[in-house]
């Protein structure tokens, strides 16, 4: 799991980063090269940052992480509780 400043630096440095928005029925998660982005306040045990809508996840990537390249969106069901 990576924090937001690390994610932003990774996206700036690595042009070939694989960015995925996962759809887990009740929330969305962002991964960068298979590493989840941590929430602002770490939880115990650590869990990935969860977005209520795909628009919120997309906006976070575009505005907060300044990401302007392609995004893959995958529908997943195995990790949803």
Model pTM greater than 0.75?
yes
Number of H helices, E strands in the chain: 2, 4
Q: pLDDT at position 30, please?
A: 92
| Averaged pLDDT score across all residues of the chain | 85
Sequence-ordered list of residues with C-beta below 8 angstroms from that of 36, at least 6 positions apart, any chain = 1, 2, 29, 30, 48, 49
Residue 80 has pLDDT above 60, yes or no: no
The whole-number pLDDT of residue 81 equals 46
**Segment 6-63, tens digit of pLDDT:** 999 999 998 888 898 898 889 999 999 999 998 877 777 878 899 999 999 999 998 8
């Amino acid at each position: 799991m990576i924090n937001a400043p690390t994610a932003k630096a990774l996206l700036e440095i690595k042009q070939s980063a694989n960015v995925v928005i996962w759809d887990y029925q009740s929330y969305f998660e962002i991964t960068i090269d298979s590493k989840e982005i941590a929430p602002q306040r770490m939880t115990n045990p650590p869990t990935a940052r969860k977005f209520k809508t795909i628009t919120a996840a997309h906006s976070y990537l575009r505005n907060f992480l300044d990401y302007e390249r392609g995004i893959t969106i995958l529908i997943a069901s195995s990790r949803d509780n």
